[in-house]
Chain A
Amino acid sequence: MKNLIKDSVSGFKTLVVGMRLTIDQFFRRPVTVHYPREALKMPERYRGHIELVRDPETGNSLCIACKSCEKACPSDCIFVEGIKREGEKRKSPTEFSLDFTKCSLCGSCVEVCPTDALRFTKEYNLASTERSAYLYDLLRRLEGQKK
């Protein structure tokens, strides 16, 4: 009997303490932001899908179509094809496509690239109802950014 009373009193006290902590939170500022009215800034190293990097001198891609990324990719989601154009020292890509449905954003391609021609984007708004929306032609994407 004595234990029961003791238990009830101390138990009730813990409930009051918990309730006080909860009420305290009413007067705190919210910790969330109201997306999409506000959006958080993506950190510098955020890993979005990859894109090609432009050579500041020529305006073309830095890619030399060596296919290192294609080989390194664990999910086989990169496809590169390239030719050696006349008057150029190295190969340049004719096709660079990414199947983002398979990509797990591990970054192996970015790491193995010998010319640093790949980097991560900061895009995360990528919802679509069609699978084809995730088959990216990265070369065309680079050209599109020129304009």
Chain B
Amino acid sequence: MSVPPLELIKGPDETFILNLGPQHPATHGVLRIKLTMDGEYVTRAEPVPGYIHRMHEKMGENRTWNQFLPNTSRIDYLSAMAYTHAFVGVAERAAGIEVPPRAEYIRVITSELNRISSHLVWFGAFLLDLGGFTPLLYAFDDREKILDLLEGITGSRLTYCYYRFGGVCNDVDDAFLRGTKEFVAHMRPRMKLYRDLVTDNIILRKRLTDIGHISADMCRRYGATGPVIRGAGVAYDTRKVEPYSAYREFDFDIPVFPEADSMARYLVRMEEIVQSLRIIEQAVDRLPDGPFIAPKMPKVMKVPPGDYFYATEAARGRFAVRAVSDGKEIPYRLKLRAPSFSNLSLFEEASRGMMLPDALAMLGSLDLVIPDIDR
């Protein structure tokens, strides 16, 4: 009796499809990934975005510049400030509006606070993906302090919509500045706590170190930015390469880790919190007096015809707005370049051949915000 060839016993293809999401407990938001699995190994991962597509770009083309402002905080609800910043920035650049220095400093302070709060959410959610619940509570305790501070000046806890063309909508008060200083003093020892509790933890190290390689070359091909490319050893940060607002005036470093694994991306974000604290401290100390919004701002924003571009460094990477104006009250075209979309698109290539739990850990380390992907 002859033995049948191995292919016939095993079957030509034993892969199966595993749906990750849209509401899988391990994914953030409503992202769906169609995984083709060979046992425990991912052979193909196909992201299926679009579940919360809200046509932000199209909405920008049928409402006035002022009316689109609230939308910008809702693209990436975790780092709303940077998104509003890019949008007001593009209009200011186009119309040649000079923003008072105080307003620029306030923008820097609030953007950096927002970055810290965003990284803290990521920190909690990422560790939740990895199966650790406790760090989330620590992170949210600190994040709550930032939200209280920002709520005090903006009136809102998440979708701030604080910046206006030419400045910000309210001036900061002494309570905010005092609270921010206290927060910086409070946060520094907390970073040590995070290191002792989480970063040094052997379980976390074993799960992240040398796993989930995303090379600098892959980042470039997919246009991945933010902590993903900085975790691959490239010091690319819009705040340094194309300094906007008042970032030129502050002394801060761009954390870069060349290991290109999930741990590197983790460490980049933790180090960024420290750097943001440095920026905030300098900005609060040197906050200039003066108006918080440019004088004589028109009630209805009008932008001269042309093609304009403005990029900011959001918590997830480079967010850019390209606006084409034909001189009317409504933008002709508004292109929103969202970092999460590029960061997700490399997932298919990067996850090939990985084990499922490792792929999930890598997915978490990309820090995706689904409304940002779908827009």
Contacts and interface: CB of A to CB of B under 8 A. Distances in A.
Contacts of A120: 155
Contacts of B71: 74
Contact of A14 (B69, B151, B169, B201): B201
Contact of A45 (B141, B153, B193, B299): B153
Interface stretch (B60-68, B223-231, B331-339): B60-68
A31 B159 contact: no
B202 A15 contact: yes
Main secondary structure of the interface of B (DSSP, over half): helix
B156 A17 contact: no
A106 B197 contact: no
A43 interface: yes
A3 to B, nearest CB: 13
A47 B353 CA distance: 49
B7 interface: no
Nearest to B198: A18
B182 interface: no
B: interface residue count bin: 20 to 34
Nearest to B299: A112
A45 B70 contact: no
A27 to B, nearest CB: 15
A105 B201 contact: no
Nearest to B196: A17
A46 B69 contact: no
Interface in A1-24: 7, 10-12, 14-15, 17-18, 21-22
Given A21-B193, A45-B152, A31 B201 contact: no
B371 to A, nearest CB: 14
Interface of B: 63, 66-71, 74, 134, 141, 144, 148, 151-156, 159, 161, 169-170, 193, 196-198, 200-203, 299
Given A14-B202, A21-B196, A43-B155, 5 more contacts: A11-B202, A12-B202, A14-B196, A104-B159, A112-B299
